[in-house]
Amino acid sequence: MTESEKAQQIVAALRAAEVSPPEAALQTLNGLMSLVRSPSVEQPLEVEEARSAAFMSICEVGKALHRGQPTEALWPTALAASERWLALAK
């Protein structure tokens, strides 16, 4: 799977998870971790940084969901970071 395909899957899953119940959203996010972790093929620095930002922001949403904390302000950040990764990966 290419970097672009991974980023596309992440963006689509985040959009779906954002409107899901918290437990379902958390399961979705947990399932994304293998896609957003470091790639096996070295990428340009900008792509690596964008992927890393997406990973960290998705982790923040996951932590908040796990703890039962509000996530309204976290979803847009995770989606924006993932969309930036997608734009750079193309």
Percent with pLDDT over 70 in the chain = 97
* pLDDT tens string 48-74: 999 999 999 999 999 999 999 999 999
Q: What is the overall mean pLDDT for the chain? A: 93
Question: Residue 39: is its pLDDT beyond 90?
Answer: no
Question: Three-state SS string across 25-64, please?
Answer: HHHHHHHHHHHHCCCCCCCCHHHHHHHHHHHHHHHHHHHH
| Residue 60: C-alpha distances to residues 29, 47, 50 (Å) | 10, 20, 15
For the chain, what is the total number of helices (H) and then of strands (E)? 4, 0
Domain range holding 11?
3-89
Q: How far apart are alpha carbons 51 and 4 in whole angstroms?
A: 11
Total domain count for the chain? Answer: 1
Question: Residue 3: is its pLDDT beyond 80?
Answer: yes
